[in-house]
Amino acid sequence: MEISALLKRSRLLENRRPMRNQNDIPSRITSTFPKLAVACILAVHAGTVLGQDYPSKPIRLVSAHAAGGAADTLSRIVAEQLATKLGQPIVVENRPGASTALAAEAVARAPADGYTILMATVTTLSINPTIMPTIHYDPVKDFAPITVVASTPFFLGTNMDLPVTSVQDLIKLAKQKPGKLNYGSSGNGTSSHLAGELFNDMAKIDMLQIPYKATSARNTDLSSGIIQVVFGNDLLPFSETGKVRILGVTSNQRLSGHPEIPTVAEAGNLPGYEASVWYGLVAPAGTPKPIINRLSSTIHNIVIDPKVKKKIMASIGGEAIGSTPQAFSDLIKSDMKKWGDVIKRAGLAKSQ
């Protein structure tokens, strides 16, 4: 919007104010109001121009995971498209370590100018605060949410020898044998571990967790019958070869790419059960809102493109999302409470 139009709008607003007489208004106010109006208009215009001029140099997109993983793959899909849309290179920088905390701490301390952004996950922003209370960043105060890029659910799978063919069968068997069934996770406090603990809580069962350092070993033990259950996002190939039976998916609705697989919530009669690894972009707190809004709208348009959606599903098994900054902020806070409660009930919270 041009300055002249903004000035015209300001005058219209001013003229709508009920005034009995110009003399009723103190001279200090009448002399100050035009200055304030112009200052406000200039501030709005400056923000608009800032958003339009951004970016003027390469943007650094920090991935909190090692090269080759789902977060890295998604970062590079977004970076390639975003560079084309914005006309500047998007440089992906991998900074794994400390359960994504190293990358988050680095970005939290970066200049709030829109030239450093972080591909964060549910672990970074909603799980770490409870399970790692000594982290040197605040998920709410230190970051400006941009958008949720994608979400990857887990598949609830069992070995072929376990005598169950549905989620309700599994719950029934677990109740008959409390503490006798087990499930493999990607490690203590990981999303797959918490997915199992949430399932235990909501189904009122007691399956024992067996942590693995490598998902390949976990999946091999599942398919060979050494462990009985797994919440994993890489089980489809084992299902397709008849080595693993998939009972459900942990998303809140069926996947567009696999509509034949029911959700755990519907198949297990567990309303509200949902456990997914979401990936979202954040910037350092204080990044100008016009920049946040431009990044958010641009990335939203990228991920809703059918070709990009298909690529994300094929690459990481995830559903593209593209949310508003406010919706992402709400998700961070609600998942902090949700997973914080699960962590505390499971006795996983570490002391300060």
Among candidates 16, 11, 15, 2, which has minimal Cα distance to 44?
2
Stronger pLDDT, 301 or 16, i.e. the higher one:
301
- Prediction pTM value: 0.82
pLDDT value at residue 52: 73
Confidence of residue 133 (pLDDT cuts 50, 70, 90): confident
Instruction: Answer whether residue 23 shows pLDDT above 80.
Output: no
pLDDT of residue 43: 47
In angstroms, rounded to a whole number, what is the distance separating the alpha carbons of residues 36 and 29?
10
User: Residue 340: is it exposed, middle or buried by C-beta count within 10 angstroms (0-12/13-18/19+)?
Assistant: middle
Q: Distance (Å, rounded) from C-alpha 183 to C-alpha 173? A: 14
pLDDT tens digit sequence for 149-169: 999 999 999 999 999 999 999
Residue 20 has pLDDT above 50, yes or no: no
For every residue of 274-336, which 3-state class applies, written as one string?
Answer: CCEEEEEEEEECCCCHHHHHHHHHHHHHHHCCHHHHHHHHHHHCCEECCCCHHHHHHHHHHHH
Name which of 19-23, 57-61, 226-230, 261-265 the model is least confident about: 19-23
pLDDT digits (tens, 9 = 90+) for 246-291: 999 999 999 988 999 999 999 999 999 999 999 999 999 999 999 9
Longest dimension (CA), the chain: 90
What is the pLDDT averaged over residues 6-26? 37
Burial of residue 132 (CB within 10 Å: 0-12, 13-18, 19+) is middle
Distance between CA atoms of residues 226 and 220, nearest Å:
9
For 29-50, the pLDDT digits (tens) are 344 445 544 454 554 454 455 5
CA–CA separation, 224 and 288 (whole Å) = 53
Could you give the 3-state DSSP secondary structure of residue 246? strand
